[in-house]
């Protein structure tokens, strides 16, 4: 088998990293993560130190401490009743980019709108238009206010296509021993490439991101050779939760770790949407953390909407997105093309930011709009490819958010019974279309819909709708396409009780 220069370089870096780890272990002990029954405090820290351990990091999302421990002390730890497990702090690395199949690999100066055709940034970002993001941009929906943590090699935040959207971050690689600056020092600018796909600015230069006004945060958990540790990945996910990120983008080939899985589960429960590259396994199984149920596993496609040659085949795949020859930001103010499911995951993170910026509905009808509703919205914002329905190659299908931004917004009313009879009435005008009206009850006895047409009372359409139980939903249809209808919604029942009214244009 002929080895490419990139493969040889990668193996040399791996060898150097392995030798460094051996030397470090000989001096400082074995890197481990110690789990406890409760959140670590003074007693737990003292236990680690009393056995000769050096604490690297204390977690709050899960009850655990990362530390370097003498080998002989690990058996003693496992016998302590306060300890639940001791897990090796293993080395992880980024999802290796696959070789691009075209000669267009890099540019040492930014492309400009003057050197390209009309809409030059979109012409140079084929995936952005393929998933329908331009439809959102044309409606001035660009991801503004949405916070995305990019767990990777850092970000070149000085790049003129990223500097306006960069909001900070944290460098976990230094662990307080050096600069906390999360700047991207990787040989392939992996994190910077991902950042550009997600949020390159719409500034008539180079490329445009899926969400060109989203706020991006560099969570540096991989070093310049794209390697890191399990403990740093867990810390990065915890940082995303503690700093109220909406979305976390992860492109890491990790290990199947019960601790990593528990961290992802806890982050999901805390409201974080985790989007991860499924790995470049060339039709093999998906990698971790993408393969966990609490994570959106992303596969890759090419310009023909076929499976990317690098992409996995696995039932855990949830959604597919462009991944071949994705031109994006790189070192200094340059651009480069990378291929792989890392690039695909970035498209999904950017699309999630657009959907969240637009506003999403309560898709699971639990009365709360959160990351689960966003995930379900992504699952339905697709073009089905391959076998009908969800399959092992494309998941639910190829990311396509056009319909989400082409459809008319639902009208949502929060109807509340006030102490005065007329105070809770809300008014809506229906015209030019038929509407489906869903009334989800929360304690009301009934809702009265009074209907008028051209200031004429419509007794034939006016009706009392009585609820049989608190959480019941009543759905009806009214046609305002011929005669505009003015509706008055009146709540009946005890003061303070409510109902959510959703009007959807048919």
The residues annotated as belonging to the active site are 152, 190, 342
Instruction: Pull the structure tokens for residue 120.
Output: 């030059």
Helix (H/G/I), strand (E/B), else coil: 69: strand
Are 315 and 286 within 8 A, CB to CB? Answer: no
Q: Give the Cα separation of 188 and 201 in Å (integer).
A: 21
Q: Give the Cα separation of 414 and 364 in Å (integer).
A: 18
Instruction: Pull the structure tokens for residue 314.
Output: 């696995």
List, in order, residues 6 or more apart from 202 with CB less than 8 Å away: 121, 137, 142, 208, 212, 213
Instruction: Pull the structure tokens for residue 100.
Output: 């691009």
Are 127 and 192 within 8 A, CB to CB? Answer: no
Instruction: Pull the structure tokens for residue 501.
Output: 């009214």
| 273 membership: H or E segment, kind and range | strand 273-277
Q: If we measure between CA atoms, which residue out of 56, 227, 237, 61 comes closest to residue 151?
A: 237
Instruction: Pull the structure tokens for residue 36.
Output: 């406890």
Q: If we measure between CA atoms, which residue out of 329, 301, 276 comes closest to residue 386?
A: 301
Residue at token pair 């019941």: 472
Q: Give the Cα separation of 137 and 144 in Å (integer).
A: 11
Decide the pairing of beta strands 91-94 and 227-229. Answer: antiparallel
Q: If we measure between CA atoms, which residue out of 144, 263, 268, 271 comes closest to residue 214?
A: 144
66 phi and psi, to 5 degrees? -95, 130
Are 319 and 303 within 8 A, CB to CB? Answer: no
Q: Give the Cα separation of 306 and 283 in Å (integer).
A: 13
Q: Give the Cα separation of 497 and 417 in Å (integer).
A: 6
Binning the chain into helix, strand and coil, the percentages to the nearest 5 are: 25, 30, 45
Residue at token pair 């969240």: 356
Q: If we measure between CA atoms, which residue out of 329, 382, 336 comes closest to residue 199?
A: 329
255 phi and psi, to 5 degrees? -115, 160
Q: If we measure between CA atoms, which residue out of 78, 76, 66, 70 comes closest to residue 29?
A: 70
């Amino acid at each position: 088998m002929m080895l490419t220069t990139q493969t040889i370089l990668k193996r040399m870096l791996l060898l150097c990293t392995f030798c460094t780890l051996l030397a470090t272990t000989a001096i400082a002990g074995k890197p481990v993560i110690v789990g406890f029954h409760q959140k670590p405090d003074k007693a737990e820290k003292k236990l680690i130190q009393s056995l000769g351990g050096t604490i690297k990091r204390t977690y709050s999302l899960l009850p655990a401490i990362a530390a370097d421990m003498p080998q002989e002390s690990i058996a003693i730890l496992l016998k302590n009743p306060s300890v639940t497990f001791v897990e090796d702090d293993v080395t992880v690395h980024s999802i290796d980019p696959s070789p691009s199949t075209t000669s267009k690999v890099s540019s040492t100066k930014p492309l400009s709108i003057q050197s390209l055709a009309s809409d030059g940034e979109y012409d140079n970002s084929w995936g952005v238009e393929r998933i329908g993001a331009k439809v959102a941009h044309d409606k001035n929906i660009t991801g503004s206010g949405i916070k995305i943590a990019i767990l990777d090699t850092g970000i070149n935040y000085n790049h003129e296509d990223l500097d306006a959207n960069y909001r900070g971050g944290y460098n976990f690689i230094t662990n307080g021993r050096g600069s906390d600056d999360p700047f991207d020092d990787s040989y392939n600018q992996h994190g910077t490439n991902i950042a550009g796909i997600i949020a390159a600015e719409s500034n008539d230069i180079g490329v445009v991101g899926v969400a060109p006004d989203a706020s991006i945060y560099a969570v540096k958990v991989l070093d310049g050779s794209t390697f890191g540790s399990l403990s740093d990945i867990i810390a990065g996910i915890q940082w995303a939760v503690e700093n109220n990120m909406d979305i976390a983008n992860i492109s890491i080939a990790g290990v199947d770790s019960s601790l990593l899985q528990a961290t992802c589960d806890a982050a999901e429960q805390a409201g974080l949407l985790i989007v991860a590259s499924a790995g470049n396994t060339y039709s093999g199984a998906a990698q971790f953390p993408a393969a966990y149920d609490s994570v959106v596993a992303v596969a890759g496609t090419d310009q023909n909407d076929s499976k990317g040659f690098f992409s996995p085949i696995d039932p855990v795949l949830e959604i597919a997105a462009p991944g071949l020859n994705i031109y994006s930001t790189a070192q200094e103010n340059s651009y480069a093309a990378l291929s792989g499911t890392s690039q695909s995951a970035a498209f999904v993170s950017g699309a999630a930011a657009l959907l969240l910026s637009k506003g999403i509905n309560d898709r699971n009808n639990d009365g709360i709009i959160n990351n689960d509703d966003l995930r379900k919205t992504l699952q339905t914002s697709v073009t089905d490819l391959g076998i009908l329905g969800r399959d092992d190659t494309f998941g639910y299908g190829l990311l396509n958010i056009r319909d989400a931004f082409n459809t008319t917004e639902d009208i949502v009313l929060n109807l509340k019974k006030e102490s005065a009879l007329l105070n809770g009435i809300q008014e809506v005008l229906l015209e030019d279309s038929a509407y489906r009206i869903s009334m989800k009850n929360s304690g009301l006895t009934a809702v009265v819909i009074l209907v008028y047409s051209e200031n004429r009372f419509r007794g034939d359409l006016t009706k009392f709708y009585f609820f049989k139980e608190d959480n019941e939903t009543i759905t009806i249809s009214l046609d305002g396409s011929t005669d505009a209808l003015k509706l008055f919604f009146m709540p009946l029942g005890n003061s303070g009780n409510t109902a959510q009214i959703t009007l959807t244009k048919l």
